[in-house]
Chains A and B, each alone.
Chain A
Amino acid sequence: MEGVQGFIYPNELELQWSVLIVLYPFITGLVAGAFILASLERVFNVRAVKPTYRLALLTALAFLIVAPLPLQLHLGHPERSFSMYLTPHTQSAMAMFGFVYLWYLTVVLLLEIWLDYRKEIVEFWKASTGPKRWLYAALALGVDNIDAASLRVDDRLGRAVTIIGIPSAFLLHGYVGFIFGSLKANPWWSTPLMPVVFLFSAIVSGIALVMLLYIVLTWLRRHRIDMVCVDTIAQYLLYALIIDFSLEMLDLIHRLYEADESLKALDFMVRTRLWTSQVIVQIISGTVVPIVLLGLLQLGPLITSTGRSVLARAIRGLWEFRLPIYVLAGTLTMIGIFAMRWNVVIGGQLFSKSFLGYTVYKMQFATREGLLPAVVLMVLPFVILWVLVRLLPPWDQEETEPATRPARAH
């Protein structure tokens, strides 16, 4: 059989989980990461990132809406998927995830967006005509109290929701990691680190996404980019990248050291079938290069005022040029995190559970689980985000509260 190397169990010829199942943790990761960034401002009072607060929430919503779609396309019988809510098997991580998703969508995300936007929703309601008026009226639930007392209630409740939302976001994406990490049959997946690794790579990708969206959308709107905001986000991105990288290296070192029965097979797989996607795209270009770029930039503010050496001048130059570098680092990061999902999901199925052989993933193009639907599903959240941004503009706040303190390296 073509592409098969060594011995695989006969039923292992074709992969069970396709690129759509790679997409699914990528999308939910973006949701969790974007939400964590939003909660930085709301709960931890990092004022600098306020310009991205509402954008992050809308981004999370747009991606969360799309998140079940790759799963539905993948299922043999999507029309039966509601059974997960009718007869959930409490021992199954996949079943319980249906409830975690529902909880996060309604009680955390929708509620927080609603509470934060309620004033504008009511104002738009009163100011619109035609179908838009009905839409905003429905969003407001037909209640129009936006006096100071009501808004105070909203603010307090919203803060509580965000506080609950942080562990909920951890649960949302940690659970996806647990879905893989709890399978003892697969040594590439089975590790208690999996939920943590997934979570931190989610945070990394979400922060990178919101940063990129903010830069691109603000530039498209021909507004001034709040560099203090972007510098702060980039700092958090760097911290998250460092933690993510440490966790991945910990997993790798642990595997190499323990050298259990699966190591030889996995090592061979990485060296041959996953070399490009894991070592080049995920580790080097997706993690190390962004860490170096962002790390160097952290030195910028320190060196700005002093030093005439070549190194100091180089770093000062880098600092002036930092916006494109942020875009580059953010893009490489997002590609790297996608590669990480690919390496986990596809990589975990390329080797045989006999540890004696390997198969190949034959991704097709225009089939139900092919590349084309995957691309469409990646584009769709941006379309939804565009609609959300039109309905509920996230922009007003930066006009009224510009951050003025320069960002400092911590």
Chain B
Amino acid sequence: MGRRWGSSRHLVRLAALFGVAVLAFLVVRWALMPEGFGVYGHYRAGALDDNRARPVRHAGQAACVECHTDVAEARAGGRHQRLSCEGCHGPLASHASDPGSSSGSRPDPRKTCLRCHEQNRSRPSGLPQIVVADHADEGPCTACHQPHQPGLS
């Protein structure tokens, strides 16, 4: 028995080394395991909060309407009444939370309109479109159209 073990002494030592390595790995794993892992699934629960914690940049129409009741009234009944304010005016959450600190940008009085209304045959029918050369070669669209109530004025 002693002789047999003697022949395998190196294997015993190797097995012990392996055992120590496995133990060390388990300890490291316990120490480094991210908090909240596995609560909802194979991911870190905190990732849900991380994704929720991003800054909001578009205020949403409800926020604009809270203060700019005059614009909401002006748009009522018009063809642009359901358009998002920020579609033309850009993201405005910082303005909505602190109106004094920043104000929205005035949209380009031509490019903004042409983005939707310049003729494009790929668009579905029903949207008023113009061929620029025939309609108004240059100059702002606001010369004739009021964007909040776009019927001809």
A and B touch in the complex (CB under 8 A): yes
Q: Which residues of A contact B (CB under 8 A)?
A: 82, 85-87, 89, 106, 111, 114, 118, 140-143, 145, 147, 149-150, 152-153, 157
Whether A153 and B11, one on each chain, are in contact in the complex, defined by CB atoms closer than 8 angstroms, is yes
Main SS of the interface on chain B? helix
B86 CB to nearest A CB, Å: 23
Q: Which residues of B have CB within 8 Å of A157?
A: 11
Total cross-chain contacts (CB, 8 A): 43
In the complex, 17 of the A-B residue pairs with CB atoms within 8 angstroms, ordered by the A residue number, are A82-B32, A85-B25, A85-B29, A86-B33, A87-B34, A106-B18, A141-B10, A141-B17, A143-B9, A143-B13, A145-B7, A145-B10, A147-B7, A149-B7, A150-B8, A153-B7, A157-B11
Q: Which residues of B have CB within 8 Å of A142?
A: 13
The answer for the CA separation of A87 and B29 in the assembled complex, in Å, is 9
Among A86, A114, A143, A150, contact of B32 (Cβ-Cβ < 8 Å): A86
B115: interface (CB < 8 Å): no
The number of chain B residues with a CB under 8 A from chain A is 18
Closest A residue, CB atoms, query B12: A143
Whether B11 and A118, one on each chain, are in contact in the complex, defined by CB atoms closer than 8 angstroms, is no
Whether B42 and A87, one on each chain, are in contact in the complex, defined by CB atoms closer than 8 angstroms, is yes
10 closest residue pairs by CB, A with B: A149-B7, A143-B10, A150-B7, A141-B13, A153-B7, A143-B9, A86-B29, A143-B13, A89-B42, A153-B8
Whether B10 and A150, one on each chain, are in contact in the complex, defined by CB atoms closer than 8 angstroms, is yes
Closest B residue, CB atoms, query A141: B13
Closest B residue, CB atoms, query A102: B25
Main SS of the interface on chain A? helix
Closest A residue, CB atoms, query B34: A87
Closest A residue, CB atoms, query B10: A143
Closest A residue, CB atoms, query B32: A86
The answer for the CA separation of A141 and B10 in the assembled complex, in Å, is 7
B3: interface (CB < 8 Å): yes
The answer for the CA separation of A89 and B18 in the assembled complex, in Å, is 24
Contact code string B34-76 (vs A, CB < 8 Å = 1, else 0): 1001000010000000000000000000000000000000000
Q: Which residues of A have CB within 8 Å of B9?
A: 143, 145, 150
The answer for the CA separation of A85 and B32 in the assembled complex, in Å, is 11
Quick one: which of B3, B9, B29 has the most chain A CB within 10 A?
B9
A394 CB to nearest B CB, Å: 21
B27 CB to nearest A CB, Å: 12
Whether B3 and A141, one on each chain, are in contact in the complex, defined by CB atoms closer than 8 angstroms, is no
Q: Which residues of A have CB within 8 Å of B18?
A: 106
B132: interface (CB < 8 Å): no
A131 CB to nearest B CB, Å: 21
Whether A145 and B29, one on each chain, are in contact in the complex, defined by CB atoms closer than 8 angstroms, is no
B32 CB to nearest A CB, Å: 6
Q: Which residues of B have CB within 8 Å of A114?
A: 14
Quick one: which of A82, A114, A118, A153 has the most chain B CB within 10 A?
A153
B139: interface (CB < 8 Å): no
Q: Which residues of A have CB within 8 Å of B14?
A: 111, 114, 141
